Structure 1
Amino acid sequence: MNNFTASEAKMQFGELLSQAMREPVSITKNGRPKAVMMSWENYSQIEALKVQHLRATLARSVEQAERGELYNTDEVFSPLTADELAKARE
């Protein structure tokens, strides 16, 4: 994955866009990754995978409920870390 600093991305936006059409490009600020720029096609594929995963999870949940395998909220969310739970609330 190619990398641009935020300053480079601002000054060389055309090149950034050109590269992002071929593969995702990381954008850093103060030496830390802050964003990724990618083609619309790549983004659409990722979003489709997220929806597919959500549907599969929901289908499994319905099947479990139909078998009487019910869980309370604490059991469901206990594998998540505090950071993951905080992000889910955002």
Structure 2
Amino acid sequence: MRTMPAGEAKNKFGVLMDTVQREAVAISKKGRTTAIVLPVHEYEEYQALKLERLRREIKTGIDQIERGEVIDGEAFFDELEKELDG
């Protein structure tokens, strides 16, 4: 993945757009990565993976509820949030 300083990304936006057609580009500001620009197909794959994971987590939760393993809905969603953030 190529890294491009924010000023260069701004001044050479056409170059950024051409580069991102082939690979993701990290945008840095003051030496720290602040954004990643992805090709559309990579973004769509990422979104599909997120949706698949969410569906799996929801199914797991529904299965646990049906088995009577979850009695505190708030605790369940707190745990789900921790898993999705991790």
Matches for 1:7-86 after TM superposition, within 5 Å = 7-72=7-72, 73-74=74-75, 77=78, 80=82
The runs of 4+ residues in structure 1 deviating greater than 6 Å are none
Does the aligned pair in 1 maintain the 2:27–2:36 contact within 8 Å?
yes
Deviation at 1:66, TM superposition (A): 0.6
How far has the Cα of 1:14 moved from its partner?
Answer: 1.1
CA RMSD of aligned residues (A): 1.9
SS of equivalent residue, structure 1 residue 27: strand
Gaps of 5+ in 1: 85-90
Number of aligned positions between the proteins: 81
Code of the residue aligned with 2:2 in structure 1: it is N
| In structure 1, distance between residues paired with 2:46 and 2:76 | 29
- Give the 3 Å change call, closer, same or farther, for CA 33–71 of structure 1 in structure 2: farther
Gaps of 5+ in 2: none
Deviation of 1:77 after TM superposition, in Å, equals 2.6
TM-score of the two chains, using structure 1 as the length reference: 0.79
Length-normalised TM-score, structure 2 = 0.82
Greater Cα shift, 71-80 or 25-34: 71-80
